[in-house]
Amino acid sequence: KLPAERLWGGTLSGLRFAWHSRIILAQLVRVMAFSAAGSALWALLPVIAQRLGTGAPGFGLLMGCLGTGAVAVGLVLGRLRARFGMEIIVGVGGVVFAAAMLVAAMTKIAWVVYIAMLFAGAAWMSAMSTFNTATQASAPQWVRSRAVAMHMVAALGAFAMGSAFWGAASDIVGLAPTLYTAAALMGAGLLLARPMPLRMGALHEVTQATPWDELFIEAEPLPEAGPVAVEVGYRIAPGTDAEFLDTISRMKAPRRRDGATFWRVYKDLGEPSRYVERFIVESWADYLHQRARATMADQALETEVRAFLEPGEVVRMSHYIAER
């Protein structure tokens, strides 16, 4: 049975996972960009209603149109996502929401703005629901609730700060320039799709695997003992150094993601064909958790690394614990 995680340690492990997981990090950045830009419309709805001259009933109708659009698209969103994919749903949602902000900025015809709000509500629900689904489907079971919590903090935190910013900006430069700027930023945020594409984690990327090697230690330390240094030795076939280093470098992200605070590969100066992978975790309990968090995708990567071993050689693992 694994030692229980403490509150602060569990929080840090969730943050570390998000930072070193390209999938989760991309989703958090994308939802923050979308929420921060889109919050302008929500924050300025009372000003829009005042500009239309419809008063409190008009404001309620604007909110009702946004909600109606969101509910309507929710009935078919699953089928749309299955047919078109996440990037198209988010991209189209961003374009439609930006267009709705432009309509609200340019026209004083109430019924035109109401129709725009229907589409804006559908676009907001489509994009935000897709971000949420991607996050839940891309995190292993041990960190899924923490990933969803970070998603909510990212989305609502950006929404809150964005709302305050857009409200202040509207007071300074006016409603229309503020909405124009927010619409432009919404469009610019869609360019993040290239460096930070959205995707749901494959089954082997979120399924935890059985640890590869058994722990052979004479006396197990206390859970809080540490830091713990782990060395994994590889004696590789001659002439494969460059390919081996390229492959083992991909181990850095999963090691750091699952708990390591330091990771590096060293070459044995006395034996050029021998390399040592070394990483450090803060305590023995953290190391046990790190071993248990490895996924089937991580194990497949380790198989690729071990394919470079010289025939007849095996991986040799050593564990060290700090005494002073």
Sequence-separated (6 or more) residues with CB below 8 Å from residue 227: 261, 280, 281, 282, 283, 321, 322
Tell me the per-residue pLDDT of 16-30, one tens digit each, with 9 for 90 and over: 999 988 899 999 999
Q: How far is CA 282 from the centre of its chain?
A: 24
Tell me the per-residue pLDDT of 49-88, one tens digit each, with 9 for 90 and over: 999 888 889 999 999 999 999 999 999 988 998 899 899 9
Mean pLDDT value across residues 129-145? 90
% of the chain at pLDDT higher than 70: 98
Q: How far is CA 324 from the centre of its chain?
A: 37
Rounded distance between C-alpha atoms, residue 206 and residue 138, angstroms: 7
Termini Cα distance of the chain: 28
pLDDT at 31 over 90: yes
Sequence-separated (6 or more) residues with CB below 8 Å from residue 151: 27, 28, 31, 131, 132, 135
pLDDT at 216 over 80: no
7-200 against 228-321: fold identical: no
pLDDT at 213 over 80: no
User: pTM here?
Assistant: 0.85
pLDDT of residue 235: 94
DSSP secondary-structure letter at 253? H
Tell me the per-residue pLDDT of 149-207, one tens digit each, with 9 for 90 and over: 999 999 999 999 999 999 999 999 999 999 999 999 999 999 998 899 888 888 888 88
DSSP codes joined into one string, 32-66: HHHHHHHHHHHHTHHHHHHHHT-HHHHHHHHHHHH
- Where do the structural domains in the chain lie, given as residue ranges? 7-200, 228-321
Mean pLDDT value across residues 232-237? 93
Q: Is 228-321 assigned to CATH 3.40.50.720?
A: no
Tell me the per-residue pLDDT of 252-266, one tens digit each, with 9 for 90 and over: 999 999 889 999 999
Q: How far is CA 220 from the centre of its chain?
A: 35
pLDDT of residue 30: 95
Q: Are 49 and 55 a contacting pair, CB within 8 Å?
A: yes
**CATH tag, 7-200:** 1.20.1250.20
